[in-house]
Chains A and B, each alone.
Chain A
Amino acid sequence: MARLVRGNLVFVWLTLLTVALGFVGYSRAASDAQQTASARTARFEEINVRRLNIVEPDGKPRVVVSSRARMPGLYWGGKEYRHHSRDDGGFLFFNDEGDEVGGMTFSSRREGDNTSVHSGLLFDQYKQDQTVGLVYNERNGQRAAGIRVWDRPDQSLLPVIELSDKAARAASDAEREAIRAEMTRLAQSWGPMGERLFAGKERGASIVRLADGNGRPRLVLKVEASGEPRVEFLDEAGKVVRRYPQ
């Protein structure tokens, strides 16, 4: 045996080298395969992405985080409809049925001297539109910021969403405006959907405002920028019927 080995030392050496190299090659291939399999979960230090979709196993969206350019349309029942006016970036939220139920968006527009800015976190009523939100708006230096609560009708928003899709596909501006008018008419036919509460600041004044079912302010607490504090009861025409301090 010893003689045999000695006599074929070169072959023994080559065999050992072959086995070693084969092992290196195999283990590397195996670890690569494992890496591919674990792409089901991956780790990064940083990801830059124009749009991120968090989806349920059936593909229905749960959260979408998107740049303005890639923002989706309006998902309802897991189906995507086009949106006639959306032009924001940020977050969209979805319920168990795959309906869009809110979002958090940030926008700023500047045209010459005119600026228009908006940030908001909004939650929608079930099968309807926004019912509560933290909202900041500014237009040419006129600012409002606070919490707002709205009433919404019981009807499903779906017919309006279908019209919105139609408006987004309209061939001309005139056609789009006509469809938008129809959307407004339909939504208004469902009944009042006024703002019931605002607490925040508006045009320089700090305000808490409570409104009736038609969105008419009936009780207002206010401190003007100049400092006068007031509590006012109003009638449905907006006339102050009682005021503190009297």
Chain B
Amino acid sequence: MTPAIRNGLIIAWLGALSVASIVLAIQPADSAQAPAAAHTADYDELTVQRINIVEPNGNPRVIISSKQRMAGLYWGGKEYQHPTRDEGGFLFFNDDGDEVGGMIFKSHKQGDKSAASASMLFDQYKQGETLGLIYGEENRQREAGLRVWDQPDIEMLPAIALSDQLARATTEAQRAELNAQLKKMAEEMRGKGYFTERFFAGKQLGEAVLKLADAQGHPRLVLKVDPQGQASIEFLDAAGKTTNRLAAVK
């Protein structure tokens, strides 16, 4: 290699390297650009299968999702599998990252049979539903209204952990065992006010109803108007027997 060729080669190589360095330096990496662009974005229309509104620490605050991509059950910011959830809509979360409610819409049709429901539900702290705006029907038997439940003073985490195991179970034997444990847990909670309906205002199987119940869930004061217009106010005892009744005609 003559010195002249050698020098020429070095200069050409240096030149190529310089150009490459400048290109790399000037062209901002997408990865460097992304955080800035991701800071805020502006669209006319956005189409997604799921959107998560999250707190800075990553805990969910609201999830809106298709049925297909619906989240499991978040509790303390951790996601557990949900054994039965099969619906799309909204989920709501509190400051602890617990699921505290949702709004869902379902419909199912098979031949002549159909079922549909929609509800917005708020949960008791560390527990299940305590207030809901609900609509449901099965084969044209309908109810719609506002419902209030008591729930026990028991933290629901053990039940959530069990149902997560149930969702992951691989054998029928495991499922049977976990179902039995969950059933036992529900029985224990039932004695402590689990899903005890205290209030309903709406319509139920054709009747307009306002129903107030005691802590055992027994309706004790019921206002009712049937489709034909028969109206009554009934006071009931714990056994469900009417003790006093007011009506348009005695």
Residues of A at the B interface (CB closer than 8 Å) are 10-11, 14, 17-18, 21, 24-25, 28, 31-32, 35-36, 42-57, 62-63, 65, 70, 93-97, 99, 101-102, 121, 123-126, 131-134, 147, 149, 151, 154, 196-197, 199, 208, 210-213, 216, 218-219, 221, 231, 233-236, 241-242, 244
Contacts and interface: CB of A to CB of B under 8 A. Distances in A.
B20 A21 contact: yes
- Chain B contact-residue range equals 35 or more
Interface stretch (B9-17, B157-165, B237-245): B9-17
B227 A213 contact: yes
A218 B145 contact: no
- The list of the 9 closest CB pairs from A to B, nearest first, reads A213-B227, A126-B116, A95-B107, A212-B229, A233-B248, A132-B144, A123-B118, A219-B231, A210-B208
Interface string B185-211: 000000000000000011100101110
Mostly helix, strand, loop or mixed at chain B's interface? strand
Interface of B: 10, 13-14, 17, 20-21, 24, 29-31, 34, 38-51, 64-68, 88-90, 103, 105-109, 114, 116, 118-120, 133-135, 137, 140, 142, 144-146, 201-203, 206, 208-210, 223-233, 246-249
Given A62-B67, A197-B145, A208-B223, 18 more contacts: A47-B43, A55-B48, A62-B66, A95-B116, A96-B88, A96-B108, A101-B116, A126-B116, A134-B133, A210-B223, A212-B226, A216-B229, A219-B223, A234-B231, A235-B248, A241-B248, A241-B249, A242-B247
A159 B201 CA distance: 32
Contacts, number: 239
